């Protein structure tokens, strides 16, 4: 028979195998709060990559690492044919949950294992590659989604490799240190699939097992530097101060006020990072660097919020007696996935009798890059209470295993070329 997903008689054993492997991954870089800390190109990230390559070899895949540290586990059924890529990322935030990214890599590996062991009379049209994308999180090295950005040609490799962390270590040096500075550009892609925890609570609230991602929210991200003047915290008269931290704090409040000015939570805003200089207890800060993030499913709302941000920053400059330099780091509009991919996933869910619903993704994923070059399917499973980027992040075993079942069916169809020509 042709390449198909596993049958119902093997689901229980397959689910147990997936949960066993996922739990072994979850202890790598484990934090005291039972989350993980596996920032890109650290020792814990390297250990997780060893977990990945070792299991891939056990399951019949060969592995290779490209020029920016993306790791691919490949199986070739049809010599010379392109590959269906499936995966996510193993790196994490500094204090993170065990599911974000890692679930998608483990699920992809097990979908690949099932398909690789399936008896068939003829090879599928496309080969299969499971991928761990480098530095999706972007917390040690900016920007996020670095590995897939290089793979898709959106970021030059030399530029990514030259990025430094706060200690001045470059991406190239860090990858070399852990033995993952590879060569080449990776396998040629024919299609892409990714499964991820929702990082929201719409699926849990509605009792739905599978989210069919149809679009990404629009986003605008900025870096800002607040310039003040260093002074003594005790002796300098308040009226004479040019307090950069005061100005930065007012920007933080400004972002929240902008979000609150729109009804029905149609806009999300945040400041996720602050770097204060000189950060001394007796010195009025002279400089603060921060990262601002605005997101919405409505591009008009995002444009209006951006205008409010620039107006508000001018007001903060006057009130705090500081100057603020703002630069847009990256931005995107509402980005739809190929409708044919959403429909393919819906049909797979129906076949497996899994409830599904179309959903937005509010967060960024490597699939956002991949959908611009090949037909792409993005899937979600529920997140308990919508918690993410938090040690309490959780998806129950039944939902996690259902996701692997669905991903297996989706990937089988992608390997048969069922999304060829999708736009």
Token match 């993704």: residue? 361
Question: What is the model's pLDDT at position 137?
Answer: 94
| For residue 94, pLDDT beyond 60 | yes
Q: Where exactly does CATH 3.30.70.360 map onto the chain?
A: 218-332
Question: Mean pLDDT over residues 388-415, rounded?
Answer: 96
Question: Mean pLDDT over residues 329-357, rounded?
Answer: 95
- Indicate the pLDDT class of residue 118, thresholds 50, 70 and 90: confident
pLDDT one-digit tens code per residue, 134-153? 999 999 999 999 999 999 99
Distances (CA, A) of 78 to 124, 129, 406: 7, 13, 24
**pTM of the predicted model over 0.85:** yes
Question: What is the model's pLDDT at position 174?
Answer: 98
Question: What is the model's pLDDT at position 121?
Answer: 63
| For residue 67, pLDDT beyond 70 | yes
**Rounded to an integer, what distance in angstroms lies between the CA atom of residue 52 and that of residue 407?**
18
The per-residue pLDDT of the chain, averaged, comes to 94
Which candidate, 326, 242, 255, places its Cα nearest to that of 287?
242
Question: Mean pLDDT over residues 68-82, rounded?
Answer: 96
Cβ proximity of 86 and 108 under 8 Å? yes
| For residue 183, pLDDT beyond 70 | yes
Question: What is the model's pLDDT at position 120?
Answer: 61
- Of 3.40.50.150, 1.10.760.10, 3.40.50.720, 3.30.70.360, which CATH number belongs to 218-332? 3.30.70.360
pLDDT one-digit tens code per residue, 275-316? 999 999 999 999 999 999 999 999 999 999 999 999 999 999
- Indicate the pLDDT class of residue 7, thresholds 50, 70 and 90: very low
Buried b (16+ CB within 10 A) or exposed e, 46-77: bbbbebbbebbeebebebbbbbbbbbbbbbeb
Residue 288 phi, psi (nearest 5): -135, 130
Residues in the chain: 423
The CATH architecture of the domain made up of 8-217+334-415 is 3-Layer(aba) Sandwich (3.40)
Q: Where exactly does CATH 3.40.630.10 map onto the chain?
A: 8-217+334-415
Largest pairwise CA distance in the chain = 83
Question: Mean pLDDT over residues 218-238, rounded?
Answer: 96
Question: What is the model's pLDDT at position 10?
Answer: 41
- Indicate the pLDDT class of residue 123, thresholds 50, 70 and 90: confident
Question: Mean pLDDT over residues 316-330, rounded?
Answer: 95
Question: Mean pLDDT over residues 325-345, rounded?
Answer: 93
């Amino acid at each position: 028979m042709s390449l198909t997903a596993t049958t119902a008689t093997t689901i229980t054993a397959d689910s147990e195998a997936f949960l066993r492997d996922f739990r072994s991954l979850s202890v790598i870089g484990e934090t005291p709060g039972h989350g993980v800390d596996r920032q890109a190109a650290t020792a814990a990230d390297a250990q997780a990559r060893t977990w990945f390559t070792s299991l891939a070899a056990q399951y019949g895949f060969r592995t290779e690492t490209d020029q920016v540290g993306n790791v691919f586990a490949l199986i070739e059924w049809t010599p010379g044919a392109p590959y269906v890529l499936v995966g996510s990322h193993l790196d994490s935030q500094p204090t993170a949950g065990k599911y974000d990214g890692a679930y998608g890599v483990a699920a992809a590996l097990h979908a690949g294992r099932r398909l690789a062991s399936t008896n068939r009379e003829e090879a599928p049209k496309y080969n299969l590659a499971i991928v761990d994308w480098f530095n999706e999180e972007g917390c040690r090295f900016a920007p996020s989604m670095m590995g897939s950005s290089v793979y898709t040609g959106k970021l030059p490799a030399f530029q990514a490799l030259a990025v430094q962390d706060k200690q001045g270590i470059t991406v190239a040096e860090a990858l070399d240190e852990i033995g993952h500075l590879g060569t080449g550009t990776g396998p040629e892609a024919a299609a892409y699939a990714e499964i991820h925890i929702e990082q929201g609570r719409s699926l849990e609230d509605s009792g739905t097992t599978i989210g069919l991602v149809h679009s990404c929210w629009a986003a605008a991200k900025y870096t800002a530097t607040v310039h003040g003047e260093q002074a003594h915290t005790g002796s300098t008269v308040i009226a004479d101060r040019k307090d950069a931290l005061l100005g930065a704090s007012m920007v933080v409040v400004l972002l929240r006020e902008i979000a609150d000015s729109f009804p029905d939570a149609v806009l999300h805003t945040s400041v996720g990072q602050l770097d204060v200089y000189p950060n001394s207890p007796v010195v009025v800060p002279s400089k603060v660097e921060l990262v601002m993030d605005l997101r919405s499913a409505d591009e008009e709302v995002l444009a209006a919020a951006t205008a409010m941000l620039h107006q508000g920053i001018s007001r903060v400059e006057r009130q705090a007696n500081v100057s603020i330099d703002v630069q847009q780091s990256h931005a995107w509009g509402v980005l739809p996935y190929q409708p044919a991919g959403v429909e393919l996933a819906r049909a797979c869910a129906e076949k497996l009798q899994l409830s599904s619903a179309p959903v937005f993704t509010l967060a960024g994923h490597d699939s956002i890059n991949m959908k611009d070059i090949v037909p792409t399917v993005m899937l979600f499973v529920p997140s308990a209470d919508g918690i993410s980027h938090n040690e309490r992040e959780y998806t129950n075993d039944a939902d996690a295993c259902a996701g692997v079942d669905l991903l297996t069916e989706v990937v089988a169809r992608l390997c048969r070329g069922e999304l060829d020509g999708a736009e």
